[in-house]
Amino acid sequence: MAVIKAENLSKQVSLGDQTLSILSALNLEVNARETIAIIGRSGSGKSTLLSLLAGLDSASSGKISLNGNELTELNEDGRAAVRNQHVGFIFQSFQLLPHLTALDNVMLPLELAGDKQAQRKAEAWLDKVGLGSRMHHQPNQLSGGEQQRVAIARAFVTEPEILFADEPTGNLDPTTGQTIVDLLFELNAEHGTTLVLVTHDHQLAHLCQRYVTLENGALFEGRKEDPLENAEHEPTKTQQTPPFARNC
């Protein structure tokens, strides 16, 4: 059964008087419990695709169904409800709220849903990611790896069916990155979550059951030639952090 199904998906953005076509008539199906990696050059539109699949943004045309919900038929608030119930996120830049403690950050999605057990569940998840003793620390008191663990705990705490991760190790050194990846896959297997992972990392992509390549606005099953090798050394077009902060 496909939990994610995108048909004829396309996305254009207008830049002044020009329109930039990022995705065109793209199709993708992801089954329940499947792990899938999306790879592609920088600027190929991976993050854009992820934001559409996760219902963060609306497509220019095409259809997306997520866990049986037709995203394209929902308005923003409708999609927000779907995100809250069915989707978890992990980002390259962690996206923790700086003034909240680790615990509060993890509780956030539960609190938004009005879950009365928020604190207990969040504590349990922080324990699980090995931060039981750091619960009351704020993000700036935690290392990058620790911050990403908090983000992982936050992603799993609502027990989502689908998890989206955009370059989860992009801001981490290789060793730390490895432990984060291990944690992610371990938890994912344990909870049978569907995982959609965007990455540059060759090895990381191989950990997934399946991977697709994004090029010229369309998806290709498997590795096409070997774009990963090149992509590593090309200057990135849309940088989210200053160059030296990114540990390649």
Task: CB nearer to other proteins: give 83 or 121.
Answer: 83
Pick one of ligand ATP, other proteins, Mg ion, none as the site partner of residue 80 (Cβ within 5 to 8 A by kind). Answer: other proteins
Shortest separation between residue 130's beta carbon and ligand ATP, angstroms = 28
Which single residue is written with the structure tokens 């095409």?
62
Query: What is the spatial order of strands in the sheet that 210-215 belongs to?
Result: 87-91, 162-166, 194-198, 35-40, 210-215, 218-221
Q: Is 43 within 8 Å of 91 (Cβ atoms)?
A: no
Residues in the chain: 248
Cα distance between residue 181 and residue 170, in whole Å? 11
Residue ranges that bind ligand ATP, judged by CB under 6 A: 13, 15, 20, 22, 40, 42-48, 236-238
- At residue 80, the 3 state secondary structure works out as helix
Task: CB nearer to other proteins: give 149 or 154.
Answer: 154
Residue 58 has φ and ψ, to the nearest 5°, of -105, 145
- At 11, which helix (H) or strand (E)? strand 2-15
Residue type at 139 in one-letter notation: P
Task: CB nearer to other proteins: give 110 or 183.
Answer: 110
According to CB under 8 A, which one of 83, 121, 128, 134 is a site residue for other proteins?
83
Task: CB nearer to other proteins: give 170 or 227.
Answer: 170
Pick one of Mg ion, other proteins, ligand ATP, none as the site partner of residue 248 (Cβ within 5 to 8 A by kind). Answer: none
According to CB under 8 A, which one of 113, 186, 190, 226 is a site residue for other proteins?
113
Shortest separation between residue 235's beta carbon and Mg ion, angstroms = 14
Burial status of residue 20 (CB atoms within 10 A of its CB: 0-12, 13-18, 19 or more) = exposed
Cα distance between residue 213 and residue 104, in whole Å? 37
Residue 81 is a binding residue for other proteins (CB under 8 A) = yes
Residue 16 is a binding residue for other proteins (CB under 8 A) = no
Shortest separation between residue 226's beta carbon and other proteins, angstroms = 26
Point out which residues bind other proteins (CB under 8 A): 47, 50-51, 56-57, 76-77, 80-85, 87, 89, 91, 95, 97, 99-101, 104, 108-109, 111-114, 154, 166, 238, 240, 242, 245
